[in-house]
């Protein structure tokens, strides 16, 4: 009888939790979902129905007790005095099945009052407790993040990491501040980027193919670090050259710019004819100095 009462109580709690979790997914009224007042009306109706069900159950139990009487024999007392281990895992000899027979035959068939073992019920209680905590956190206090809020928070973290990564890779470098890199490591990195992205149009070693020759002194859009960097960054759409600012970081564009500058005078075989105007660095007021020149200037000023 006690087990049956526990089952009824658990049924009530589980029903309330289930309805609460269902309602938790409803959007505000302005989004086409249920409004908060309507949700609480639903809660009240469900609670009333459960209360009526429980009262009817109590009346039924009272009638059964009145008709059959209530007693506990010695065998039942021994059954209740089982060890903790036996109670938790419902361990008992097969011969004790007779102690759990419900004295109500259905076409000559008797049913055993064999409830689920306690470990299973503890697991069930845990799921109910989790549902209640989940409901309170997300629907009552609002301290939990919804899936949309979690997505926004994760995207913010990704954007922050991206910004940090760009900063570390020289995001402050642009066409106005770029300088030509001279270290072998930077030139090698620029060469790798050139082969992956620029070789298809400018040929191996900058000899020129669809695009112009990059090894001579003539440039269509200006030579020098600043102009080359600017051309790579924004592209020349009317000539079919794409803008690389969305594919390469500022640091990568600076490295490939430095590699292109290192190609001047290499005279590769089968080089394309010169195009554009001859670039004279001394006459270019916006020509960027190399890292070595910047360092030497700072030492002199110091």
Is residue 157 assigned to a domain? no
Alpha helices in 97-183 (DSSP H): 118-135, 147-168
Mean pLDDT is lowest, of 64-78, 100-114, 147-161, for 64-78
* pLDDT 10s digits, 196-254: 999 888 888 888 888 888 988 889 888 888 999 999 989 988 888 889 988 888 888 99
Of 120, 146, 172, the last residue of a domain is 146
- Radius of gyration from C-alpha coordinates of the chain: 40
pTM score, whole prediction:
0.43
Is residue 271 assigned to a domain? yes
In a shared domain, residues 107 and 229 = no
Domain that holds residue 255: 184-291
Across the chain, mean pLDDT equals 75
> In the chain, how many domains are there?
2
In a shared domain, residues 223 and 112 = no
Is residue 163 assigned to a domain? no
Tell me the range of 37-46, 68-77, 161-170, 288-297 where mean pLDDT is highest: 37-46
Q: How confident is the model over 37-60, as a mean pLDDT?
A: 79
Give the largest CA-CA distance in the chain: 115
Cα–Cα distance for residue pair 252/244, rounded to 1 Å: 10
Of 146, 175, 201, the last residue of a domain is 146
Is residue 233 assigned to a domain? yes
């Amino acid at each position: 009888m006690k087990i049956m009462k526990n089952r009824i109580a658990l049924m009530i709690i589980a029903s309330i939790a289930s309805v609460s979790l269902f309602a938790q997914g409803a959007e505000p009224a302005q989004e086409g979902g249920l409004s908060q007042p309507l949700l609480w009306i639903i809660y009240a109706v469900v609670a009333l129905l459960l209360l009526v069900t429980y009262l009817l159950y109590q009346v039924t139990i009272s009638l059964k007790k009145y008709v059959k009487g209530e007693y506990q024999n010695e065998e039942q007392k021994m059954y209740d005095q089982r060890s903790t281990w036996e109670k938790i895992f419902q361990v008992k000899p097969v011969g004790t099945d007779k102690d759990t027979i419900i004295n109500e035959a259905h076409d000559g068939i008797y049913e055993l009052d064999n409830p689920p073992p306690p470990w299973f019920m503890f697991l069930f209680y845990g799921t109910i407790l989790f549902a209640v905590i989940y409901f309170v956190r997300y629907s009552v206090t609002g301290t939990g993040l919804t899936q949309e809020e979690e997505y926004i928070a994760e995207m913010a973290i990704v954007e922050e990491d991206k910004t940090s990564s760009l900063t570390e890779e020289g995001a402050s470098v642009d066409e106005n501040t770029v300088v030509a890199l001279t270290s072998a490591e930077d030139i090698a990195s620029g060469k790798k980027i050139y082969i992956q992205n620029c070789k298809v149009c400018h040929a191996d070693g900058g000899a020129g193919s669809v695009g112009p020759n990059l090894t001579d002194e003539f440039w269509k859009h200006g030579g020098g670090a600043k102009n080359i960097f600017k051309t790579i960054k924004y592209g020349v759409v009317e000539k079919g050259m794409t803008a690389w600012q969305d594919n390469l970081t500022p640091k990568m564009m600076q490295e490939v710019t430095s590699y292109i500058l290192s190609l001047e005078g290499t005279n590769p075989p089968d080089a394309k004819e010169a195009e554009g105007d001859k670039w004279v660095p001394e006459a270019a007021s916006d020509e960027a100095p190399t890292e070595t020149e910047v360092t030497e200037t700072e030492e002199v000023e110091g």
